[in-house]
Amino acid sequence: MKITGGFFITLEGIEGCGKTTQSSMLVEYLEAEGYHVTKTREPGGTAVGGRIRAILLDPESRGITGTTELMLYSADRAQHMAEVIEPALAAGGIVVCDRFADATLAYQGYGRGLDADVIASLTDIATRGCKPDLTILFDLPVEQGLGRAIGRNDSTGAAHESRFEQEALAFHEKVRQGYLAIAACDRERVKVIDASGTIEEVWAVLREVVEAAVKGRG
């Protein structure tokens, strides 16, 4: 299903890739350009989703199976689509979403090894076939990303790493390679940006890519 009028941008990448910082800069820029923008994220873009997010990221949820994890992300997405994304797109606005369905294929598929066809079916149910118009993949080496994520936790006084940040380097490497494979299969939609530079360097590239896509939309 294509919801006419709006423009749907998703931001993806491994832990510590900088997408949350870039997402705020992007929203500020698009609003200054006069667009109506909805800034949101997965998991946790709705009240129900916030509760699902707490379960998913809590290190105490260590007994959770891969299938349970997949279903919780899908449940969060179904609610998010119905409550936030579809209405915002139908109203003709731009939606900027920090993570979306590619994260499920990268983390639960490539990372955890769950079946790609099962993931595709659940994604289809949750999204009702709605796909992003543009996906930005912030790519950088895993060691650099995790280093940033851990530094961020220290500086914000976060008591502990999330369940995903505690995963081994090998898991994050699989996720990174998964994201790159997704991008290679859909170069039209997914634009890979080198996220190893400074915030300003990454922003300059992001701004150019988004400007071209938003202005060139059909």
Q: Which residues bind ligand TMP (CB under 6 A)?
A: 15, 42-43, 57, 73, 99, 103-104, 107-108, 162, 164
Structural contact between residues 10 and 97, judged by C-beta atoms closer than 8 angstroms: yes
CB of 65 to ligand TMP, least distance (A): 13
Q: Which of 39, 118, 135, 26 is nearest to 73 (CA)?
A: 118
Is 162 or 196 the residue whose CB approaches ligand TMP more closely?
Answer: 162
Is 162 or 177 the residue whose CB approaches ligand TMP more closely?
Answer: 162
Is 57 or 130 the residue whose CB approaches ligand TMP more closely?
Answer: 57
CB of 150 to ligand TMP, least distance (A): 13
Is 107 or 203 the residue whose CB approaches ligand TMP more closely?
Answer: 107
Assigned token pair, 214: 């938003």
Q: In what order do the strands lie in the sheet with 190-194?
A: 37-41, 94-98, 7-13, 134-139, 190-194
| E strand map for 1-121 | 7-13, 37-41, 94-98
Query: Quick one: which H or E segment has residue 168?
Result: none
- What is d(CA 179, CA 17) in angstroms, rounded to the nearest whole number? 12
Indicate left, alpha or beta for 5 from its phi (over 0: left) and psi (-120 to 50: alpha).
left
CB of 212 to ligand TMP, least distance (A): 25
CB of 206 to ligand TMP, least distance (A): 16
Is 7 or 73 the residue whose CB approaches ligand TMP more closely?
Answer: 73
Is 20 or 214 the residue whose CB approaches ligand TMP more closely?
Answer: 20
CB of 105 to ligand TMP, least distance (A): 8
- What is d(CA 118, CA 9) in angstroms, rounded to the nearest whole number? 24
Neighbours of 50 (CB within 10 A): 12
CB of 83 to ligand TMP, least distance (A): 16
